[in-house]
Amino acid sequence: MKDTIKGFLDLVKERNGHEPEFLQAVEEVAETVIPYIVQHDIYYGKNILLRMVEPERLISFRVCWVDDSGEIQVNRGYRIQMNSAIGPYKGGLRFHPTVNASILKFLAFEQVFKNSLTTLPMGGGKGGSDFDPKGKSDNEIMRFCHAFMSELFRHIGPNTDIPAGDIGVGQREIGFLFGMYRKMRNEFTGVLTGKGMTWGGSLIRPEATGYGTVYFAENMLKTKNDNFKGKTVVISGSGNVAQYAAEKSLQLGAKVVTLSDSSGYIFDEDGIDEEKLKFVMQLKNEKRGRISEYVKEYPNAKFTKGKTPWHEICDIALPCATQNELHEDDANALLSNGCICVSEGANMPSTKEAITAFHKAKILFAPGKASNAGGVATSGLEMTQNSLRYKWTREEVDNKLKDIMADIHKSCIEYGTEEDGYIDYVKGANIAGFVKVADAMLAQGIV
Ligand code: NDP
Ligand code: 2IT
């Protein structure tokens, strides 16, 4: 089996050797899915995984815009249309200086499995730009978004490819992107999700990824007759996913002690309560400030520059910032401090070595493609409401989100339960996600 997996990975490496994040994502899937393929004749010998690692289409384009000082800026835009066997391409847009083809291909590849797990008919895609929104004025953000959409519009559509937000793309950016799409197409359609509430957005979509990550952790804890009440929670990031993971943890009776950004993390021994979280939301979403400013407002808290929060004592860890932000030594620190549950809000935040440490210790560990799927699932619910030209209540959407997270958890149990009863959520999510897409690909022939 090892040779079969190695043979496959060597081939993928030969073609994509300069894309480390993409190779990392493929390796994790190959190690769990290839043994399953070998045991199941219907999938064996059909090069299904080889077809799945090749994007159906990779679009790269120039984005020119003028900054506030009159300088012409040139950025690179991308859309990766990875797999549309079970539905139109669906996935976020990331604006961050680190964006390149490797990062977007890993995200698009993960998205295929994640979207399959949601139970909704959505294929996988991802896009974005190396544009850095930090320090840009609202007008610069608008001009960039308009320039970006003036090319992207010809490649997307409500039945073709439906982008949404990700790092650096929130409701403000979705607004500017939607405005230009509507103008260029002369159509008001559900072509983007994460829209504002007065122009087609779904209630609960802003909260969905963070809430879903916590709902998934709740499902995991339930297998041990446990819950969030009285637990200490460590969270990384302070953006969309982190904020709502914190909010839901508080609502379930936990104490949240950390948040972070790329400059460092804050630790608040007294707990980040609802009032303090409101301050963080204003600081990050309206003032676009840095998390270090928290300690000026709450001097009991401490800011540690350049570090991540994983060495603080906790019961539950929710990595909600970015890929490869939790390493082997961090995993070991979490384990020796008594952490019992890790639910990934970000995409691929734990390195391969960190995941191995969690599995060895047999704690509850959920990979992002299962635990953060609530965001895209609620995007799917936004698409449904747009098609129906209808709007569900907050409660209706939240209940559907809870049901979807419970269904994903069930799928992980079905495909990931080991002989000793330990649930390998990585294996479960990869195989469950694979089966649905593979069945659709087989039914549709070699295309
Ligand atoms: P935001 O842009 O709202 O927030 C990102 C947060 O992560 C910020 O606090 C940011 O800090 C921090 N961050 C970004 N890059 C780094 C880095 N290199 N090192 C340390 N911290 C970093 O993005 P989201 O909250 O939407 O996304 C967070 C994660 O969740 C990403 O992995 C994303 O792919 C994933 N995700 C998002 C979904 C969504 O619906 N939005 C759905 C599913 C997954 P700083 O301000 O310093 O950059
Ligand atoms: O990684 C993700 O799942 C997202 N950024 C959300 C994608 C979406 O289409 O809502």
Say yes or no: CB of residue 261 within 6 Å of ligand 1. yes
Q: Does residue 79 sit within a domain?
A: yes
Q: Are residues 158 and 107 part of one domain? A: yes
pLDDT digits (tens, 9 = 90+) for 69-83: 999 999 999 999 999
Q: Is 126 a catalytic residue?
A: yes
User: 201 and 336 in contact (C-beta within 8 Å)?
Assistant: no
Residue 417 in any domain: the answer is: no
Contact 155, 59 (CB under 8 A): yes
From 189, 222, 255, give the residue that closes a domain. 189
The CATH number for 334's domain is: 3.40.50.720
Q: Count of residues for the chain?
A: 447
In a domain, 446, yes or no: no
214 and 301 share a domain? yes
Domain assignment present for residue 99? The answer is: yes
Residue 129 inside a domain? The answer is yes
Q: Which domain holds residue 227?
A: 208-371
pLDDT band at 205, cuts 50/70/90?
Answer: very high
Question: How many CB atoms neighbour CB 128 within 10 A?
Answer: 27
Cα→Cα distances 289→32, 136, 280, 286, 296, Å:
41, 12, 9, 8, 12
* Atom 38 in ligand 1: residue holding the nearest Cα: 166
* CATH number of 97's domain: 3.40.50.10860
Cβ(54)–Cβ(88) below 8 Å: no
Alpha carbon nearest to ligand 2 atom 3, residue: 376
Same domain, residue pair 30 and 97: no
Catalytic residue, from 114, 126, 427, 436: name it: 126
Phi, psi of 154 (to 5 degrees): -75, -10
Q: Note whether 23 and 86 are same-domain residues.
A: no
Question: In angstroms, rounded to a whole number, what is the distance separating the alpha carbons of residues 366 and 10?
Answer: 27
Count other Cβ atoms within 10 Å, centred on residue 392: 18
Probe target for ligand 1 pocket from 322, 351, 382, 401, with the most ligand atoms within 8 Å of CB: 322
For residue range 46-71, what is the model confidence (pLDDT) as tens digits? 999 999 999 999 999 999 999 999 99
pLDDT confidence tier of residue 245, bands split at 50, 70 and 90: very high
List the one residue out of 264, 157, 277 whose CA is nearest residue 207.
Answer: 277
Compute the CA torsion angle 173, 175, 178, 182 (nearest 10 deg).
-140
Is residue 214 located within the same domain as residue 297?
yes
C-alpha closest to that of 344 among 273, 434, 429, 272: 429
Q: What pLDDT, on the 0 to 100 scale, is given for residue 67?
A: 98
In a domain, 11, yes or no: yes
Asked if residue 118 has its Cβ within 6 Å of ligand 1, the reply is: no
Q: How far is CA 177 from CA 67, 84, 163, 288, in A?
A: 17, 23, 10, 20
> How many domains does the structure of the chain reveal?
3
Local confidence band at 255 (pLDDT 50, 70, 90 cut-offs): very high
> What b/e string do you get for 417-437 counting C-beta neighbours within 10 Å, with b at 16 or more?
eeeeeebbbbbbbbbbbbbbb
Strands 89-95, 124-129: pairing is parallel
pLDDT, tens digit, for every residue of 292-345?
999 999 999 999 999 999 999 999 999 999 999 999 999 999 999 999 999 999
User: In terms of domains, do 162 and 227 share one?
Assistant: no
Residues with CB under 6 A from ligand 2: 90-92, 111, 114, 164, 166, 193, 347, 375-376, 379
Rounded to 10 degrees, the C-alpha dihedral 76/135/234/411 comes to -30
Q: Which of 57, 129, 50 is nearest to 92 (CA)?
A: 129
Model-level pTM?
0.98
- State pLDDT tens for residues 12-50: 999 999 999 999 999 999 999 999 999 999 999 999 999
- Domain finish residue from 346, 371, 396: 371
332 CB-contact burial (10 Å; exposed 0-12 / middle 13-18 / buried 19+) = middle
**Rounded-to-integer distance, Cα 339 and Cα 233, Å:** 9
The residue-averaged pLDDT of 172-201 equals: 98
